[in-house]
């Protein structure tokens, strides 16, 4: 079983998603967090399920409903870099993250 590690930014993304959904439906927010985390675990087990994108600094991308999981494979699994709604300016967010490192 692979390891799914989460960067602080990815943890913040998940918290923001949970909080946003919980504004209307607390139970649904909890259930959706489970779905996202299950998908991250599945990616940790099978890292090449996503598609690598050179324009996103070589990160892999995997869609889950309206959200995109951006991650980097490593020997024992994946590191989840961000979880971002697909309507956001992905390129700008990832470039901003990349320059802050």
Q: What is the CATH number of the domain that holds 15?
A: 3.30.2310.20
User: Residues 58-74: pLDDT tens digits?
Assistant: 999 999 999 999 999 99
Q: Judge contact between 67 and 29, C-beta under 8 A.
A: no
User: Residues 6-59: pLDDT tens digits?
Assistant: 999 999 999 999 999 999 998 999 999 999 999 999 999 999 999 999 888 899
Q: How many CA atoms lie within 13 A of 22 on its CB side?
A: 11
Provide the residue range defining the domain that includes 45: 3-100
Q: What is the largest CA-CA distance in the chain?
A: 39
- In the chain, the number of structural domains is 1
């Amino acid at each position: 079983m692979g390891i799914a590690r989460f960067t602080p930014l990815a943890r913040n993304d998940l918290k923001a998603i949970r909080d946003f959904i919980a504004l209307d439906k607390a139970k649904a927010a909890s259930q959706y967090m489970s779905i996202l985390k299950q998908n991250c675990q599945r990616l940790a087990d099978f890292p090449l399920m996503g598609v690598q994108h050179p324009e996103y600094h070589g990160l892999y991308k995997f869609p889950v409903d309206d959200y995109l999981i951006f991650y980097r494979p490593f020997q024992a699994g994946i590191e989840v870099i961000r979880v971002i709604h697909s309507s956001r300016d992905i390129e700008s967010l990832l470039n901003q993250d990349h320059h802050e490192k």
